[in-house]
């Protein structure tokens, strides 16, 4: 890079490299400069918000230099890149992460203190970048961190939503959604007004035959919307590598407004096009594990995919390579089926615009794409109606029909006369109306399909994609167990624990190779180490207690057992079982004598999570949790023995505070429904234990940390189907303890019973699809084991230390290396003179 700088600019460039802040004074100088010039404020008028802004701008300046250099390095190397296409990136805050990854948080802390600020308060000013719903979006964010930290040439592509996931307020126990104005001040994005792509919708297709007898299809008419790039730098940890996340924003192709309409006085309509266009990137659909089939959503998908592919192809074409080399230069990962249109769009570019033969083009396409499935829930498997496709993307529908025809012909050759097989694997579902099955298209268009934990990857092969294993053979299907970045989820969220670990492993290098954690197991009997371990957990609980007091007004005792379930509210995740269990505990306590009560382990049951705005049952669950809290928390007889807390507006930055404060966390999905889970990994990495079902990554966590360190319960995935069948056709009786819980609710113990009848009748009258009653007894019993284990504090600390020591496998670095080797065929780009 340096050698390529022209001589006249070289001196200035070299000086620039050494500018910035080498120490606290240098940092302060930069902050003051930004306050006074960029923000145009006087230092006397510098509040925490301004300090945050100036501090971010100072770090951003440093990031930009490395970012530019990384992009140049990758361009010069001209080696393969991976593009991670995700409709969600749940990034959380950027400043703390940037300071830690660059390795200058200490400098900032001292500098800010000189200026009269506490670094924690400054960090708190930042609004979360919440462009995602839950696990799928947060995984994408962890992957970006690992890709940069491991020096892979990688870009993320997503949408720049003007409103991310809504803010949740709890009013009278109910969830109320409030828009998320996150772009008020966002120093972490760079608009690239020069990087734009015109995206076409609607219109029609004409076909003609050229001189060689080849059919040429042309997509004409319709409307054009402009995609504008916004770039977000992604700093790697302890490396200069700074990758790019490119988010697309929509704008009217015609400019700000229609001059003709404006000049004729039609002001309202003069901005109509602008507003219509901007709607595309306006909001994130707030559904987790659910597909609603709305036209605007399909528009979002095509808009983002078409802009991204145009960009990727433009970059490839600069290298002047032959098309057949495309898959050697480009790997594209589909984060679930949301970007599956990319398969069709690349085929369209190659065949319609670049004139390649169908076969040649299709080979390129299938070698380029990989598809990750994140759920087996049928309500989340995307399908789009054929008439909608026909209207919005007429040429793409034709291409899908062609792709399907060739695919079905190949199936027919392998399974002659098996009409049922053809119907089952077809990309088109023969329903009324016909539907395009996006998962089928993604499988047919990719060279690898992966699940996100062992059980999940097995399940997709034996259930939803079974036929495809027969068609393509088993090697196309693989597993990559999810991981999390230890930088954010240990070092940043739990600095004291990170420091303690580093004092035993010798350095912070364990953040680059998480298997180094194993070293701390040697100290599990060391008295001082154990004491400090327990103290850190307690301090984290004190911090959370203060937050609980501030936000809910409830006093909780930090010495009580903190039991946490934070995640999206969903019936399959079974928060309803948790709150029924809490009610059972409350009834037991009420029935006990004051003497007996003393024997009970005090507990704080903490919930958090958003319900999709249209998900009635999930909202009812939130309401019940709050209603139970209102009664239990004010029951003088119960006091500290039980508290029930619902934390409002769970998001990434709150997770960073909540997770380190947990003693036990709940991962209690009906077996076979939670593809992996990733918060399970975060909790254990922070020294919390787990109560959970044999589902998703819980199984692999158990294998790594040992059965003695986890509280497993409930029916197994392999039995779920039979049990459900029995609910419908056999005799279904509700567990007696659960019946008592229902009776208490129906008596009005927690307010108006009819508000909660949906949850009760789902179990009692509608087949109990999620096996709440079947698992209830074993859940309650296992919670009693948790109480008992917690009373043995020494034993508990041993479990906690052993668990953390054995979590090395669950780093997203390991996970990304597996993708790179097994799916992308990608090597890191080595950096000379890296520390």
Q: What residue ranges bind ligand 6GP (CB under 6 A)?
A: 134-136, 139, 288-289, 336, 374-375, 380, 452, 482, 674-678, 696
Query: Residue 338 in 3-state DSSP?
Result: coil
CB atoms under 10 Å from CB of 59, counted, come to 28
Looking at beta carbons only, is 86 or 545 nearer to ligand 6GP?
86
**Residue 530: active-site member:** no
- What number of CA atoms fall less than 13 Å from residue 496's CA on the CB side? 15
Query: Residue 281 in 3-state DSSP?
Result: coil
Spatial distance between the Cα atoms of 273 and 275, rounded to a whole number of angstroms: 5
**Residue 678: active-site member:** yes
Catalytic residue among 537, 610, 682, 806: 682
Catalytic residue among 568, 574, 643, 806: 568
> Would you say the C-alpha torsion 802, 804, 810, 814 has a positive or negative sign?
negative
Looking at beta carbons only, is 150 or 380 nearer to ligand 6GP?
380
Looking at beta carbons only, is 575 or 678 nearer to ligand 6GP?
678
Spatial distance between the Cα atoms of 757 and 766, rounded to a whole number of angstroms: 12
Looking at beta carbons only, is 642 or 675 nearer to ligand 6GP?
675
Taking Cα atoms as reference points, which of 439, 320, 345 lies closest to residue 395? 345
Query: Residue 720 in 3-state DSSP?
Result: helix
Looking at beta carbons only, is 345 or 674 nearer to ligand 6GP?
674
Question: Smallest distance from the beta carbon of 630 to ligand 6GP, in angstroms?
Answer: 30
Instruction: Decide if 128 contacts 182 (C-beta within 8 A).
Output: yes
Instruction: Decide if 376 contacts 459 (C-beta within 8 A).
Output: yes
Query: Which DSSP helix (H) or strand (E) runs through 7?
Result: helix 7-18
**Residue 276: active-site member:** no
Q: Cβ-closest residue to ligand 6GP?
A: 135
Catalytic residue among 374, 440, 456, 654: 374
List the beta bridge partners of residue 204.
220
Query: Per-residue DSSP letters for 753-794?
Result: GGGGHHHHHHHHTS--TT-HHHHHHHHHHHHHHHHHHHHSHH
**Residue 568: active-site member:** yes
Spatial distance between the Cα atoms of 243 and 599, rounded to a whole number of angstroms: 55
Question: Smallest distance from the beta carbon of 372 to ligand 6GP, in angstroms?
Answer: 7
Looking at beta carbons only, is 80 or 374 nearer to ligand 6GP?
374
Let me know the angle formed at the C-alpha of 234 by 233 and 239, rounded to the nearest 5 degrees. 120
Question: Smallest distance from the beta carbon of 490 to ligand 6GP, in angstroms?
Answer: 18
Question: Smallest distance from the beta carbon of 291 to ligand 6GP, in angstroms?
Answer: 8
Question: Smallest distance from the beta carbon of 745 to ligand 6GP, in angstroms?
Answer: 28
Instruction: Decide if 53 contacts 60 (C-beta within 8 A).
Output: no
Question: Smallest distance from the beta carbon of 675 to ligand 6GP, in angstroms?
Answer: 4
Query: Per-residue DSSP letters for 301-313?
Result: HHHHHHHHHHHHH
Spatial distance between the Cα atoms of 780 and 368, rounded to a whole number of angstroms: 49
Question: Smallest distance from the beta carbon of 151 to ligand 6GP, in angstroms?
Answer: 24
Q: Is the peptide bond before 433 cis (omega within 30 degrees of 0)?
A: yes
Query: Which DSSP helix (H) or strand (E) runs through 587?
Result: helix 575-591
Question: Smallest distance from the beta carbon of 253 to ligand 6GP, in angstroms?
Answer: 32
Spatial distance between the Cα atoms of 768 and 428, rounded to a whole number of angstroms: 32
Looking at beta carbons only, is 189 or 336 nearer to ligand 6GP?
336
Question: Smallest distance from the beta carbon of 336 to ligand 6GP, in angstroms?
Answer: 5
Question: Smallest distance from the beta carbon of 264 to ligand 6GP, in angstroms?
Answer: 47
Looking at beta carbons only, is 336 or 516 nearer to ligand 6GP?
336
Beta-strand ranges (E) seen in 86-189 are 89-92, 129-131, 154-159, 167-171, 174-178
Instruction: Decide if 51 contacts 39 (C-beta within 8 A).
Output: no
Catalytic residue among 375, 678, 693, 749: 678
Between β-strands 81-85 and 369-372, what pairing exists: parallel, antiparallel or unpaired? unpaired
Beta-strand ranges (E) seen in 339-454 are 369-372, 383-385, 428-429, 435-437, 448-451
285 phi and psi angles, rounded to 5 deg? -70, 125
Catalytic residue among 24, 226, 567, 585: 567
Looking at beta carbons only, is 242 or 289 nearer to ligand 6GP?
289
Looking at beta carbons only, is 217 or 464 nearer to ligand 6GP?
464
Catalytic residue among 34, 73, 530, 573: 573
The burial of 117, by beta-carbon neighbours within 10 Å (0-12 exposed, 13-18 middle, 19 or more buried), is given as buried
Which residues are catalytically annotated? Answer: 374, 567-568, 573, 678, 682
């Amino acid at each position: 890079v340096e050698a390529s700088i022209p001589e006249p600019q070289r001196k200035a460039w070299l000086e620039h490299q050494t500018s910035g802040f080498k120490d606290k004074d240098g940092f302060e100088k930069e902050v003051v400069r930004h306050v006074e010039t960029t923000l145009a404020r006087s230092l006397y008028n510098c509040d925490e918000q301004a300090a945050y802004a100036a501090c971010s701008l100072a770090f951003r300046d440093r990031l930009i230099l490395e970012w530019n250099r990384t992009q140049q390095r990758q361009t010069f190397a001209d080696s393969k890149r991976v593009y991670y296409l995700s409709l969600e990136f749940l990034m959380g805050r950027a400043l703390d992460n940037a300071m830690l990854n660059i390795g200058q948080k200490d400098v900032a802390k001292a500098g800010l203190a000189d200026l009269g600020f506490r670094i924690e308060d400054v960090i708190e000013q930042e609004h979360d970048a919440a462009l995602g719903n839950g696990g799928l979006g947060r995984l994408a964010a962890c992957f970006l961190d690992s890709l940069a930290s491991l020096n892979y040439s990688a870009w993320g592509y997503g949408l720049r939503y003007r409103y991310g996931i809504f803010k949740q307020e709890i009013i009278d126990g109910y969830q109320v959604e409030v828009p998320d104005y996150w772009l008020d001040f966002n120093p972490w994005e760079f608009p690239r007004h020069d990087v734009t792509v015109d995206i076409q919708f609607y219109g029609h297709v004409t076909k003609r035959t050229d001189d060689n007898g080849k059919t040429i299809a042309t997509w004409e008419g319709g409307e054009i919307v402009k995609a504008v790039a916004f770039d977000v730098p992604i700093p790697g940890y302890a490396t200069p590598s700074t990758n790019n996340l490119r988010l697309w924003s929509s704008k009217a192709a015609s400019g700000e407004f229609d001059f003709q309409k404006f000049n004729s006085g039609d002001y309202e309509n003069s901005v109509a096009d602008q507003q219509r266009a901007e709607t595309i990137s306006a909001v994130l659909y707030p559904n987790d594990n659910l597909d609603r089939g709305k036209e605007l959503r399909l528009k979002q998908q095509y808009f983002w995919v078409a802009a991204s592919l145009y960009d990727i192809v433009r970059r490839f074409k600069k290298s002047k390579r032959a098309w057949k080399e495309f898959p050697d230069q480009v790997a594209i990962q589909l984060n679930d089926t949301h970007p599956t249109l990319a398969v069709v769009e690349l085929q369209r570019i190659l065949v319609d615009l670049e004139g390649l033969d169908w076969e040649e083009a299709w080979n390129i396409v299938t070698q380029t794409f990989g598809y990750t499935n994140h759920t087996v829930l049928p309500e989340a498997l995307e399908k789009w109606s054929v008439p909608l496709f026909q209207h919005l993307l007429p040429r793409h529908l034709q291409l899908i029909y062609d792709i399907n025809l060739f695919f079905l012909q190949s199936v027919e050759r392998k399974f002659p006369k098996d009409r049922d097989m053809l119907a089952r694997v077809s990309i088109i579902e023969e329903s009324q109306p016909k539907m395009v099955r996006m998962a089928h298209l993604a499988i047919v268009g990719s060279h690898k399909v992966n699940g996100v934990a062992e059980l999940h990857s097995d399940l997709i092969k034996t259930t939803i994609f079974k036929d495809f294993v027969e068609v393509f053979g088993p090697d196309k299907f693989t597993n990559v167990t999810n991981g999390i970045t230890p930088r954010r989820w240990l070092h940043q969220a739990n600095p004291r624990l990170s420091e303690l670990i580093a004092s035993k492993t010798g350095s912070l290098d364990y953040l680059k190779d998480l298997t180094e954690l194993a070293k701390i197991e040697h100290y599990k009997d060391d008295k001082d180490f154990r004491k400090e371990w327990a103290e850190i957990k307690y301090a984290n609980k004190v911090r959370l207690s203060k937050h609980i007091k501030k936000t809910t007004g409830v006093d909780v005792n930090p010495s009580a057992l903190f039991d946490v379930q934070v995640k999206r509210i969903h019936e399959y995740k079974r928060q309803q079982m948790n709150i029924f269990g809490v009610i059972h505990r409350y009834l037991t306590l009420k029935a006990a004598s004051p003497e007996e009560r003393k024997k009970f382990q005090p507990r704080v049951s903490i919930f958090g999570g958003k319900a999709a705005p249209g998900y009635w049952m999930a909202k009812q669950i939130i309401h019940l949790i709050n209603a139970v809290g209102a009664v239990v928390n004010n029951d003088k007889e119960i006091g500290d023995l039980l508290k029930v807390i619902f934390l409002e507006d769970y998001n990434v930055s709150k997770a960073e505070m909540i997770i380190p404060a947990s003693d036990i966390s709940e991962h209690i999905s009906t077996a076979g429904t939670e593809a992996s889970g990733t918060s399970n990994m975060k909790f254990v990495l922070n020294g919390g234990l787990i109560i959970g079902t044999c589902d998703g990554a819980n199984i692999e966590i158990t294998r790594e940390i040992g059965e003695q360190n986890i509280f497993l319960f409930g029916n197994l995935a392999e039995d779920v189907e039979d049990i459900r069948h029995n609910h419908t056709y056999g005799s279904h009786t509700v567990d007696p303890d659960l019946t008592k819980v229902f009776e208490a609710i129906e008596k009005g113990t927690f307010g108006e019973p009819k508000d909660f009848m949906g949850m009760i009748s789902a179990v009692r009258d509608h087949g109990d699809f999620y096996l709440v009653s079947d698992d209830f007894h074993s859940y309650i019993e296992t919670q009693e084991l948790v109480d008992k284990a917690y009373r043995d504090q020494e034993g508990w600390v041993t479990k906690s230390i052993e668990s953390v020591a054995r979590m090395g496998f669950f780093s997203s670095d390991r996970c990304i290396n597996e993708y790179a080797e097994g799916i992308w065929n990608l090597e890191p780009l080595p950096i000379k003179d890296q520390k």
